Structure 1
């Protein structure tokens, strides 16, 4: 998405072991820097959630505290995106 000046995907969602993991892997596979705010994802089982966050962080994305992601977004210069 370089034509739209997009280089980063921030993934949030309800099922860390399913949709969140799959979206993270897809974003990584397409070459995007991928960030998962730790407090913005969840799963039915804590064990599954923790194991998938550990693996995603080790292989595909930066799992970061939500506050750091918000600080990062606040530091970006905004410019209009035109199509």
Structure 2
């Protein structure tokens, strides 16, 4: 396991206290942004590899305060901010 962690610290997302599904959506969001998408354009219905990344992002923004610190840090690095109430 130490060798796997040395190669990829995210090989086991449950070790970070989040799900594999969440890890995939995070990676897909990062791919979209690296490909030139803007966060403002990634709304519900925006998909990658058949997954609704926009819907996942909206949930993360809404529930940002409920995520653990590492999740919030990673999302902040992508420019994600908490959703404004009422929007």
Whether the TM-score (by the shorter chain) exceeds 0.5 is: no
**Richer in strand (by share):** 1
Tell me which of the two structures has the higher relative contact order, counting C-alpha pairs closer than 8 angstroms and 6 or more residues apart.
1
TM-score (norm 2): 0.38
**Richer in helix (by share):** 2
